[in-house]
Amino acid sequence: MTEPTAVAVLSGGTSLERDVSLRSGGRVADALADLGHHVTHLDVGADLVRTLEDGGFDTAFLALHGSAGEDGTVQSLLELIGLAYTGPDVLASSLAWNKPIAQGLFGRAGIDVPARVTLSQQAFRELGAAAAVDRIASVLGRPLVVKPARGGSSLGLSIVEDPAGLPQAIVGALSYADVVLMEEFIDGTEVAVTVLDGEALPPVEIQPKEGAYDFRARYTAGATEFHAPARLDPDVLAACRGVAVDAYTSVGARHISRADLIVDTDGRPWLLELDTCPGLTTTSLAPMAAAAADLSFASLCDRLVSLALRDATA
């Protein structure tokens, strides 16, 4: 393991994913403390910069999900005050955070991404986008997926079967972000691939016991069945790993990311999104992938600390 290090574990804050972040952060802090690191668990707020400047920390461990923590804001502050941190840098974070931009980049990199339509609140309020809503179902088919263009944990996501339900789903998603992303629904096996320092860990297959892999299915222990590695042909597994690494590379990520994929019935992986600060709760996917690679949760956290220190001195 890494030499005992003074680590500030950052979690909480005021993002909509505060609750999940606190759970990730608590688990990380316990694991690192058990390894002998000097850990301070912080709920980020107005005193963050002062606390970090005065705290004598060697590195920050980012267990932040949602805005500020995942969109490059905190990363930018940490660079300004010269403190090493885990996870992708400012640019990679902000690229991945904006799902329409990230999907565009992935498409250009030759990764299969679902067909999509992006509309902002402004398009509806000022430019009469409502008149074009009927076209969405004809462009994307049905069912279709409606989600906020930013944020994770499936918050604000809905799967719309009947186009008559589309306006309500759009309004719902726009509660979470100012831009809504609508995608064609790809039927198949849901798979998450964690990339650790440029290398893909075993793909994890996600099978909710009922309905979609929504917030409830994500965070209720036992509500979803997972298999690692996913029960797919070896060449399909390899293709999934390849897509995850390509996605990591195309936004310029470092340390860790998690790619959420659907493998369609022909065995073709489609990239849905890339998470640059993946959840680390007891029901989260990245720790499962690590376990499947014989890397304990504590070792995964320790590895991330060592990567932060390595890149700070590089």
Partner 1 sequence: MRLDTDPYLQRYADRVLGLSASEIRALFAVASRPEVVSFAGGMPATSALDMEAVEDVVATVVRDSGATALQYGGGQGRAELRECLVEVMAEEGVPAHADDLVVTVGGQQALELVAKCFLNAGDVVLSEGPTYVGGIGAMTSHQAEVRHVGMDADGMRIDLLEEELAKLAAEGRSAKYVYTIPNHQNPAGVSLSIPRRQRLAELAESHDLLILEDNPYGLLDFAGEVRPSLRSLIPDRVVYVGTMSKTFAPGVRTGWVAAPAPIRDKLVLLREAADLCQSNLTQMVVESWLTTQPWREQVKHFTTVYREKSEVMLAALADEMPEGVHWTTPLGAFYIWLTVPRGIDTSDLLAKAVRHRVAYVPGRGFYADGAGGNQARLCFSYPEIDRIHEGVSRLGEVLHEELELVRAVFGDDAPQLRPHTAANDHGVGG
Binding site for partner 1 (CB under 8 A): 14-20, 22, 45, 121, 124-125, 128-131, 133, 153, 155-156, 167-168, 170-172, 174-176, 204, 215-216, 218-229, 282-283, 288, 291-292
Backbone φ/ψ region at 71: left (φ over 0), alpha (ψ -120 to 50), beta: alpha
Please say which residue, 105 or 169, places its beta carbon nearer to partner 1: 169
Q: Least separation, in Å, of the C-beta of 141 and partner 1?
A: 21
Give yes or no for a contact between 31 and 2, defined as CB atoms under 8 angstroms apart: no
**DSSP state for residue 165 in the 8-state scheme:** G
Task: Look at residues 54, 59, 63 and name the one whose alpha carbon lies nearest to residue 27.
Answer: 63
d(CA 203, CA 227): 8
In the chain, the amino acid numbered 174 is: L
Please say which residue, 6 or 127, places its beta carbon nearer to partner 1: 127
| Residue 294 CB contacts under 8 Å (≥ 6 apart), including other chains | none
User: Helices 297-313 and 18-34: crossing angle, nearest 10°?
Assistant: 90
Backbone φ/ψ region at 139: left (φ over 0), alpha (ψ -120 to 50), beta: alpha
Q: Least separation, in Å, of the C-beta of 219 and partner 1?
A: 4
Q: Least separation, in Å, of the C-beta of 306 and partner 1?
A: 26
Please say which residue, 5 or 21, places its beta carbon nearer to partner 1: 21
Q: Least separation, in Å, of the C-beta of 174 and partner 1?
A: 6
Give yes or no for a contact between 57 and 84, defined as CB atoms under 8 angstroms apart: no
Please say which residue, 83 or 204, places its beta carbon nearer to partner 1: 204
Please say which residue, 216 or 310, places its beta carbon nearer to partner 1: 216
Residue 225 structure tokens: 């069945």
Q: Least separation, in Å, of the C-beta of 46 and partner 1?
A: 8
Q: Least separation, in Å, of the C-beta of 67 and partner 1?
A: 9
**DSSP state for residue 67 in the 8-state scheme:** T
Q: Least separation, in Å, of the C-beta of 175 and partner 1?
A: 4
Please say which residue, 40 or 207, places its beta carbon nearer to partner 1: 207
Give yes or no for a contact between 236 and 273, defined as CB atoms under 8 angstroms apart: no
**What is the distance, to the nearest Å, from the Cα of residue 256 to the centroid of all Cα atoms in its chain?**
10
Pairing type for strands 59-62 and 84-85 reads: parallel
Please say which residue, 139 or 312, places its beta carbon nearer to partner 1: 139
Please say which residue, 217 or 244, places its beta carbon nearer to partner 1: 217
Taking residue 211's Cβ as centre, other Cβ atoms within 10 Å add up to 10
- For 33, the enclosing helix (H) or strand (E) is helix 18-34
Pairing type for strands 204-208 and 224-227 reads: antiparallel
d(CA 182, CA 204): 25
Please say which residue, 224 or 257, places its beta carbon nearer to partner 1: 224
